[in-house]
Chains A and B, each alone.
Chain A
Amino acid sequence: MQQGETVFIVDDDTSIGEGLKNLLESVGIKAEYFDSAEAFQKNWDRSRAGCLLLDARLPGMSGVELQEELNAARIGIPVIFMTAHGDVPMVRKVLKAGAVEFLTKPFGMEELLSAINVAFDYDRLFRANAAIEQSIHARVNLLTDREREVLAMVTAGLLNKQIAARLNLSEITVKLHRRHVMDKMQAASLADLVKMCERIKLESWKAAESAE
C-alpha cells in the first residue's frame, strides 16, 4: 500500500466506523472516520488522495446524495458503498453513477481490501490524468492571444500560408508564432500538440468562419 492514500469512512454507526478504521489500520492503511456526510464534506479537501467508504443510508444527507454532489462538482474520488440491506434499484443507481463496489454488511475482510485496492488504483489513475491536464492548462495559459489563434488554426490543419492569409500576417511571422507555441507547449511534434489540445478539450479553429 502506498503511503499518503487514506480511506475516508462515513457511517452513522460509530462502532462500525471505528471497527473499520481499526481493521484498516491493522493492515497498514490510513483511515479517517466521519459520522455523517456533512462532516466529511466539511473536513475533507479534494487534494487528499484515497477513496471513500460510504454507508448508503445516513441520517441527514444520505450516501447516495453525497455521491451525486461529488459527481456534480466533478470530484473524482472513488466511492465504495456499504449497506445492511441494499435494494436492487439503489445498487444499480450508485454503480451507474460510478461507484467502485457495493458491499453488504457484514462483509469479509478480503472483499473490503480488494475493493479498496481497486479504488486506490482508480484514484491514482484519476489523479495522474488530472495532473497532466493541469500542466497542459498551465502551458496554454503562457500563450499570448495571437499565439492561441495560431494554435487553434494549426491544430485545425491549416497551412502556414493559409494562416497568414487569415490573420493578415506574413508567412514568416506565422512561422515565428508557431515556433513559440511549440516551445511553450513543450510539444515535440504537431501530433503531440494535437493530442494535448484534445486532452484538455481545447477548441480548435472552426472552419465555419472560412466559408469563402
Chain B
Amino acid sequence: MTAVELKRFPEGVYDYVMKPIAIASCFVIVALLWTFPLQHVIAYPFVFLFFGAIMGSAWFGGFMAGIMSVIMSGLLVTYFFIPPLFSMSVAKDSQSFLAAFLVCAIAISIVGSARRRSEGAVRLARDQLEEMVRERTAELEASNREIRESERQLRILTEAIPQQIWRADASGHIEYCNQHLRTYIGQRGGEELGDSFYGVLHPEDEALYRQGFEKAMRTGEGFEVETRVRGADGDYRWFLARAIPQHTEDGNIARWYGVHIDIEEQRRMQQNLKDAQENLARLSRILSMAEMAASIAHELNQPLTAVVTHAYACREWLNSTPVNIERASTTAEKIVQESTRASAVVKRVRALFRKDKEAPVREPADLNQLIRELARLLREDAIRHGVSIRLDLAGDLALVDIDPVQIQQVLLNLATNAMEAMMAKDGQRELTIHSQNQNGREVLVSVADTGCGVPADLVEKVFDPFFTTKSQGTGMGLALCRTIIEEHDGRLWFSNSPQGGAVFQFTLKSGDDH
C-alpha cells in the first residue's frame, strides 16, 4: 500500500501541478501572441482570445489548468492591455473591465472544467458499458456452446438408445423420430408420418391409440397403450407406446415425448403361456372326464357281469336233463336283483350330475353387461383369429333373474364355439351377439357366426352329451349349456342362418317388473 502511494505521489504532482501549468502556459502564450497583432487592428483592448485560452486549458487540462490559465491571463492582461500599459497597476476606469474579465474568465474556466468532467464521466460509463457487453457476450457464447454440446450429446443419446423415441408438438404433430424409429417404420414411412403415427398402426388398434391420445390431450396426463406398429417390411409387431407431455409454465402442453417399446417377444411368451395354461386346463378337464367315465363304467360293469353270468347259468339249468327248475328259478331271481342294481347305478350317476343339493343362485342381472364383459374377454382371441365381434344390444333390455356365472359360461361356450367354427373357413369372420326383449316377458340372446353352419345330418345331435366334431372336445359343452338354460326356465336352440353360419339362440325369463 505504502509503495503504491509513494509511487502515486509524483503522479499527483504531475497531474495536479505540472500538467495544468504546462497546458495553461501554452494556451495563454498562444493567446498572448495572437492578441498583440490583433491589438493594432481593433482599437479596444482585445482580450477575448484569453477566454479561448482559458476554455482550452480547462477543457484539456481540467479545473487546475483552468484556474492557472485564469491567473496567468489576469496578470498578462493587467500588464499588457489594461491602462496604464506595461504596469501592474490598473487605471480607475479600467477596474470594472478587469473585474468583468476575471468574472467571465473564472466562469468559463468552471464551465469548461465541468464540461470536461462530465465528458470524462460519460466516456468512463461508456467504456464500462462496453466492457460489460463484451463480458456478457462472451458468457452468452460460452453458454450457447454448452447448450449446443449438451444438445448434441442428448441427440447422440437418443439415437443410441435401443428404443424408438419421438417428440411431437402440442397438437401431436411429429417433430422428431430417432434413428431406431425411422429405421423400423422405414424412411418413407417417416416422411409420411406427418401428423401422427396413425398411418403405421394396425387398423384395429388405431381407434384405441387415438382414444388414448385424445384423452391424454384433454387431461394433460401421459398415456400408455399396447398397439401393433407396421414395420418397413410390412409386418406388424406389438409395441408398448407411451407418451408424456411437457407443460409450459402456465400449465398448457408444450410438446409430447414418446417411446415405443417392442413387446412382441413378451406378448408371444405371454400367449404361449396362456396357450399352455389353456391346454393344461383342457387336459385336466378331459382327464377328470375320463376318470369319471372309468368309474361309471366300473360301477355299471359289475352288475352287468353278474347279470350276464346268471343268464348263462339260467340257460344251462333249463337245458340240463332233467331240467333243474329250482336252480333256474333262483338264478332268474338273481338276474332281476342284479338288473335292479344296475339301474340303481344309473340313477346314482344322474343324481351326481344334477345339482339339486344346493339352492340355485338367482340374482337380477343385466345381460348386456355380461355380453360386453364377454366381448372384452374375447378381444385378444378374436384379434388373434382375425374375428371381428359385433354387438347389437337392445338399449332398454330388461333385467333377468339368473346365476350370472352360469350364464356367462353359456355365453362364453357359445362364443368360443362360434369362433372355432369360423376357423375352418376363409373370408369374413364376424361374431354377432344380439339381445332384445321379447313378448314383454323374456329376453332373447342370439350368437351368430359366419362359419359353415352345421351339416343337416348332425343338427339333431348338437346338444347330445358326448357328441363332438372337435378332436379335443368333450362333447359336453352344448349339453351343459342347454341344461343350464333349462334350469333357468329358458330355452336354447339352434338353427343354420340363411347366409351360412350357425345361430344359437336362448331365452331367459325377465323379471316381474317388466
Which A positions have Cβ atoms within 8 angstroms of B? 13, 15-16, 18-20, 22-23, 25-27, 84-85, 105-109
Q: Are B305 and A23 touching (Cβ within 8 A)?
A: no
Does B167 sit within 8 A of A, measured CB to CB?
Answer: no
Mark interface residues in B280-315 (1 if CB within 8 Å of A CB, else 0).
000000000000001001100111111111101110
| A15–B302 alpha-carbon span in the complex (Å) | 8
List chain A residues, Cβ under 8 A from B305. 16, 19, 84, 105-107
List chain A residues, Cβ under 8 A from B449. none
List chain A residues, Cβ under 8 A from B302. 13, 15-16, 84, 105
The residue of chain B having its C-beta at the shortest distance from the C-beta of A113 within the complex is: B312
Mark interface residues in B337-349 (1 if CB within 8 Å of A CB, else 0).
1100100000000
List chain B residues, Cβ under 8 A from A13. 302, 306
Q: Are A85 and B327 touching (Cβ within 8 A)?
A: no
List chain A residues, Cβ under 8 A from B298. 84-85
**A84-B298, A85-B298, A105-B301 known; A15-B306 Cβ under 8 A:** yes
List chain A residues, Cβ under 8 A from B434. none
| A108–B341 alpha-carbon span in the complex (Å) | 20
| A210–B309 alpha-carbon span in the complex (Å) | 66
Q: Are A19 and B304 touching (Cβ within 8 A)?
A: no
Q: Are A26 and B320 touching (Cβ within 8 A)?
A: yes
Does B46 sit within 8 A of A, measured CB to CB?
Answer: no
Does B69 sit within 8 A of A, measured CB to CB?
Answer: no
The listed residue with most A CB atoms (<10 A of its CB), out of B306, B307, B314, B334, is: B306
- Choice from B297, B314, B341 contacting A84 with Cβ under 8 Å: B297
List chain A residues, Cβ under 8 A from B310. 19, 22-23
Q: A26-B327, A85-B301 are in contact. List 4 more A-B contacts (CB 8 A).
A: A16-B305, A22-B334, A23-B309, A23-B310
Q: B342 → chain A, closest Cβ, in Å? A: 10
The residue of chain B having its C-beta at the shortest distance from the C-beta of A109 within the complex is: B312
The residue of chain B having its C-beta at the shortest distance from the C-beta of A26 within the complex is: B316
Q: Are A85 and B309 touching (Cβ within 8 A)?
A: no
| A15–B342 alpha-carbon span in the complex (Å) | 12
**A16-B309, A105-B305 known; A26-B317 Cβ under 8 A:** yes
Q: Are B313 and A22 touching (Cβ within 8 A)?
A: yes
Q: A95 → chain B, closest Cβ, in Å? A: 21
- Choice from B294, B303, B306, B317 contacting A85 with Cβ under 8 Å: B294
Does B331 sit within 8 A of A, measured CB to CB?
Answer: yes
The residue of chain B having its C-beta at the shortest distance from the C-beta of A13 within the complex is: B302
- Choice from A22, A25, A106 contacting B301 with Cβ under 8 Å: A106
A-B contact pairs, 9 of them (CB 8 A): A15-B334, A19-B309, A19-B338, A20-B309, A22-B309, A22-B313, A26-B317, A84-B301, A108-B312
The residue of chain B having its C-beta at the shortest distance from the C-beta of A14 within the complex is: B306
Q: B295 → chain A, closest Cβ, in Å? A: 10
| A22–B338 alpha-carbon span in the complex (Å) | 14
Q: Are B313 and A19 touching (Cβ within 8 A)?
A: yes
Q: Are B316 and A23 touching (Cβ within 8 A)?
A: yes
- Choice from A18, A25, A26, A106 contacting B304 with Cβ under 8 Å: A106
**A22-B309, A23-B310, A106-B301 known; A15-B337 Cβ under 8 A:** yes
| A22–B331 alpha-carbon span in the complex (Å) | 8
List chain B residues, Cβ under 8 A from A23. 309-310, 312-313, 316
List chain B residues, Cβ under 8 A from A27. 316
List chain B residues, Cβ under 8 A from A15. 302-303, 306, 334, 337-338, 341
List chain A residues, Cβ under 8 A from B324. 26
Q: Are B309 and A106 touching (Cβ within 8 A)?
A: yes
| A22–B301 alpha-carbon span in the complex (Å) | 19
List chain A residues, Cβ under 8 A from B312. 23, 26, 108-109
Q: B179 → chain A, closest Cβ, in Å? A: 64
| A16–B190 alpha-carbon span in the complex (Å) | 83
Q: Are A26 and B313 touching (Cβ within 8 A)?
A: yes
Q: Are A18 and B334 touching (Cβ within 8 A)?
A: yes
Q: A112 → chain B, closest Cβ, in Å? A: 8
| A106–B294 alpha-carbon span in the complex (Å) | 15
Q: B338 → chain A, closest Cβ, in Å? A: 6
| A22–B337 alpha-carbon span in the complex (Å) | 15
| A156–B302 alpha-carbon span in the complex (Å) | 59
The listed residue with most B CB atoms (<10 A of its CB), out of A15, A25, A107, is: A15
List chain A residues, Cβ under 8 A from B308. 106-108
The residue of chain A having its C-beta at the shortest distance from the C-beta of B316 within the complex is: A26
List chain B residues, Cβ under 8 A from A105. 301-302, 304-305
| A106–B337 alpha-carbon span in the complex (Å) | 17
- Choice from A18, A19, A22, A109 contacting B327 with Cβ under 8 Å: A22
List chain A residues, Cβ under 8 A from B294. 85
| A16–B324 alpha-carbon span in the complex (Å) | 21
The residue of chain B having its C-beta at the shortest distance from the C-beta of A17 within the complex is: B306
Which 4 A-B pairs rank lowest in CB-CB distance, beginning with the nearest?
A26-B316, A19-B309, A23-B313, A106-B305
Q: B347 → chain A, closest Cβ, in Å? A: 18
| A56–B186 alpha-carbon span in the complex (Å) | 72
List chain B residues, Cβ under 8 A from A26. 312-314, 316-317, 320, 324, 327, 331
List chain B residues, Cβ under 8 A from A18. 306, 334
Q: A58 → chain B, closest Cβ, in Å? A: 13
Q: Are B306 and A16 touching (Cβ within 8 A)?
A: yes
List chain B residues, Cβ under 8 A from A16. 302, 305-306, 309
Q: B337 → chain A, closest Cβ, in Å? A: 7
List chain A residues, Cβ under 8 A from B316. 23, 26-27, 109
List chain B residues, Cβ under 8 A from A85. 294, 297-298, 301
| A16–B305 alpha-carbon span in the complex (Å) | 7
| A111–B381 alpha-carbon span in the complex (Å) | 54
List chain B residues, Cβ under 8 A from A106. 301, 304-305, 307-309
List which B320-336 residues lie within 8 A (CB) of chain A: 320, 324, 327, 331, 334
List chain A residues, Cβ under 8 A from B304. 105-106
| A106–B338 alpha-carbon span in the complex (Å) | 13
| A108–B305 alpha-carbon span in the complex (Å) | 9
Q: A84 → chain B, closest Cβ, in Å? A: 4
| A127–B314 alpha-carbon span in the complex (Å) | 33
The residue of chain B having its C-beta at the shortest distance from the C-beta of A28 within the complex is: B320
List chain A residues, Cβ under 8 A from B303. 15
The residue of chain A having its C-beta at the shortest distance from the C-beta of B299 within the complex is: A84
| A109–B303 alpha-carbon span in the complex (Å) | 16
List chain B residues, Cβ under 8 A from A84. 297-298, 301-302, 305
